[in-house]
Amino acid sequence: MVFARPKDALAGAHALLAVGPTPYDASVAHQVIGIWHRDFGDLTVAIGHLRRARVLAARSGSPDREADVLATLGAALIHAGRTRHGMGALQQAVARGEGLTAARVLYRRGYVWWVLGNHREALADLRQAIPVLRRSHDTIWTARALTLRATVHLALGSAEQAEADFVAAELLWAGTDQDHDKADAVENRGLAAFRAGDLPMALRHFDEAARRYTELGTPMFVLNIRRCAALLAAGLATEALEEADAAASLLARRGGQSTRGAELLLTAARAAIAAGDPHAAMARATLAARQFSRQRRDWWHAHARLVLLQARFAAGQVSGRLVGDAAAVAARLAGLGSPEAVQAELLAGRTALALGRADEAARHLTVAARTRNRGPALARVDGWVAHALCAEAAGRTHTLLGACRRGLDLLDEHRMTLGASELRARAAAQGAELALLAQRVALAKGDPRRLLEWSERWRATALTIPPTRPPDDPELLRAVTAFREIASRVEEARGQGVPVPSLERELRRLERDIRAHTLRTRSGEGPHGHRFRVASLLERLEDGWLVEIVAIDGTLHVLLCGRGRVRRFTAGRFADAALEADHARAGLRRVAYRRPGDWLPLLEAGGRRMEEALLGPAVRHLGEGPVVIVPPGRLHGVPWTLLPSLRGRVLSVSPSAGAWLRARQVPPSGERVVLVKGPGLATGGAEVPKLATRYGTAKVLHDGTARAAAVLAAIDGSRLTHIAAHGTFRADSPMFSSLRMDDGPLTVHDFERLDRAPHRMVLSSCDSGRLQPVGADELLGLATALLPLGTAGIVASSLPVDDEAVIPLMLSLHDGLRDGMSLAEALCDARERLPRDALHQATGWSFSAIGAG
């Protein structure tokens, strides 16, 4: 009953002890309490009850009873980190048990071997136990043993054998009332899906298992570890680190299993490396390694050593000693049968290559490259990285480029299984190294066309296809509706200065639920056919220019495309350009908030410094005609019209040259014009009534009718949509960036539910054009949600803007659109018509035309 109805089992055991049972029955009761605390409560309390159960079992005169308790006690001692005592108890249990009891004892010892990382010993015990359990028709223990054997097979990389055992176990669980074990079976299906590379399905199963464990009141920290691994594979490193640290903290407060505590530390260390904090990773990995050593867990200790060495490499601690240590860990992991041995070989190869020891690097990288044609997709990508690095060490550029191409193609296939645009964007980080290796080759060869092709190969690739439309799941729709309502109430309370912590907690919970639903979405798309071609770009540019800025090893390179040619110029350092952009954005923000000061000269001087850092000598070769800027993701928020050479020009910005080409090919949709005015604007959205008069037949939503559902229905498939509303950009969760409607926020998640986005979109809102760089060179935000759904162009601000100063800009912009101009042309013309004071000029500089509309 402990794993069917845990709370009832615990209550029943205490009730039995209260009536003065026999030693045999009292032993059972104390064992039940011990099991409950071992797995779900305080481990010290568990061991106390299990020692008492062992004494009572001996007093009862039943060797089988004593063997059963000893096996449970042994597992508890192992989890407490007392490995020698735990194994001693299990040896005694094996000696005392007979028949069915002996088989159950062997199962438990197999479980302990798995915890310790001794997988071959675990399989040996399970090989003996399973036939006896089957012959005895012991359904529950047979299912447990099959589940454990499947988990051991997965640890050794035998996915097919694991799948067969998981399926057999699930069939057996179906005929029982073991609700906890059934939840464990769902968790294991998630583990199998994760190892097979199906991340959405893995997250779906893990979330369902978590729901069941919560209902049973049985927290399972192994689930946290597995879910963190899936989050890391999805590129969600910060979330994985937060979950691992939170689970470790909860486990410590409950006095839980120290074995799981060490595993959570190791998980957090892996997440910290991926999150870009190698020093935090080193601290956690060092502590985990010490704990594994004390627990005599060689498998786990070797893995902790690997993560510690990876963290040192990430921190720049490259040395000959690191090469030797990585090689030693690789040999140790290979001896233990761990698939992670490949990662250690890759680390040794990378380090040797960084030290200029090409022959030594080649030996290690050749071993690591053997995985490129077998195993899950991400493991094979690592194999192609190793193959590319090996080719780089040998100076074989053709082989290097082939490896980069194969690896990125493989990642494309993997990302096509992900339905959520956030996952697709974040997964791009795994291809960054391959793209950079190819870019370096093109740069060294002095081939700007080839450099452009490789830069485009891994830039804003998540925009090449629309995200999978979120399912019409009633639970998800309820969560979205509740989120909008609670967000509206929180916003109202904040405006009144009233703290509402309970509502804010509920809002965060709803955000987590919506995001979890979205991440579980599987893609219905096959591999896309969008391949960037330089010739197509040059043909489409006609008399215009496209300037693609590429960051390679900290230096900006400008690829000037136009007049049938691609030319490369070296500009400034990335860090200098980013700093100048931050200063310019800060200045524009101060003007928007009407801070006193003579801002125009300062902004113009900042624009000159930005131009030097961002464009360098390319400026002198930029002829007449419209310009498209394609910056690196982390420079997308630059106020480009502050640059002297771009001021007064028809200018648009695009996440990639490929995205601009696709936007050029988007046909107009319908004739409907939609005007939306959200609540709380200082001017009352004064441009909207004036625009309604000018457009005549436009559909206008305002003053209570601008509710999220009505707005989405109206703008779906429209030719032109103008939304005047307060905008909120969420750097911590860009998919919840929003526009404020009458009934609450309209988020990126909502826009992704459109069948077809408006052909042209004007967002007269603060921060509506801000985009969060993620992955390699991917972007998340309102604009990037619209482009793959059929929007050709967007006008939006990447900064806060003054509501009153926006009105003349917007009215002039629409005058240009009604005269047949493109968005970029109309915005340029509207800027020229603005008053020359700092406030109006800064407002014009804060807006950009995105895309090709």
pLDDT of residue 734: 85
List, for residues 36-58, the tens digit of each pLDDT value: 998 888 889 999 999 999 999 99
Residue 525: pLDDT band (50, 70, 90) is low
Write out the DSSP string of 398-421: HHHHHHHHHHHHHHHHHHTTB--H
Confidence class for position 755, pLDDT limits 50, 70, 90: confident
pLDDT in tens, 166-190: 889 989 988 888 888 888 888 988 8
- pLDDT of res. 582: 94
Lowest mean pLDDT among 90-104, 373-387, 749-763: 373-387
Q: What is the pLDDT of residues 393-449, one digit of tens each?
A: 888 999 999 999 999 988 888 877 777 777 777 777 888 899 999 999 999 999 999
847, 766, 845, 837: which is closest to 801 by C-alpha? 766
Place of tokens 């005599």: 296
When pLDDT is cut at 50, 70 and 90, the band that residue 324 belongs to is very high
For residues 826-837, average pLDDT: 94
In the DSSP assignment, the letter for residue 759 is S
Q: Which of 388, 466, 829 is nearest to 650 (CA)?
A: 829
Whether the CB-CB separation of 200 and 417 falls below 8 Å is answered with: yes
pLDDT in tens, 564-581: 999 999 999 999 999 999
pLDDT band for position 531 (cuts 50, 70, 90): confident
How much is the pLDDT for 485? 86
- With 0-12 / 13-18 / 19 or more C-beta atoms within 10 angstroms meaning exposed / middle / buried, residue 168 is middle
Q: What's the sign of the alpha-carbon dihedral 365, 366, 368, 374?
A: positive
Mean pLDDT, residues 285-314 taken together: 95
What number is the average pLDDT over the span 445-464? 88
Work out the number of other CB atoms within 10 angstroms of the CB of residue 92: 18
Across residues 138-143, what is the average pLDDT? 94
Q: Which residues make beta-bridge pairs with 548?
A: 559, 630
Identify any residues that bridge with 627 across adjacent strands, giving them in sequence order: 545, 651
**Does residue 690 have a pLDDT over 90?**
yes
Q: Tell me if 325 sits within 8 A of 347, measured CB to CB.
A: no
CA dist 692 → 687, 798, 821 (Å): 9, 26, 19
Mean pLDDT across 464-484: 75
**Rounded mean pLDDT, 606-616:** 95
pLDDT at res. 242:
95
Q: Please report which residue ranges of 593-685 form alpha helices under DSSP H.
A: 599-614, 657-664
**295 — phi, psi (to 5°)?**
-85, 0
What share of the chain in percent tops pLDDT 90? 65
User: Does the structure show a pLDDT above 80 at 684?
Assistant: no
- pLDDT of 529 higher than 60: no
Q: How far is CA 344 from the centre of its chain?
A: 24
| β strands within 339-394, DSSP E | none
- Looking at residue 640, its pLDDT comes to 95
What pLDDT does residue 669 have?
75
- Tokens standing for 151? 């988990």
Under 8 Å between Cβ of 361 and 324:
no
Q: What is the pLDDT of residue 815?
A: 96
Angstrom CA distances, 541 to 141, 406, 632, 659, 827, stand at: 69, 30, 20, 14, 19
Q: What is the pTM of this model?
A: 0.83
Asked whether 146 and 192 are in contact (CB, 8 A), the reply is: no
Residue of 418, 373, 662, 406 lying closest to 522 (CA atoms) = 418
What pLDDT is attached to residue 416? 75
Query: Residues 780-815: pLDDT tens digits?
Result: 888 888 888 889 999 999 999 998 999 999 999 999
Phi, psi of 503 (to 5 degrees): -70, -35
pLDDT band at 464 (very low <50, low <70, confident <90, very high): confident
The pLDDT assigned to 512 comes to 85
Average pLDDT, the chain: 90
Say which residue, 719 or 752, is predicted with more confidence: 719
- The pLDDT assigned to 530 comes to 59
Dmax (CA) for the chain in angstroms is 99
Tell me the two tokens of residue 789. 């759904």
Tens of pLDDT along 330-386? 999 999 888 899 999 999 999 999 999 999 999 999 999 998 887 777 788 999 999
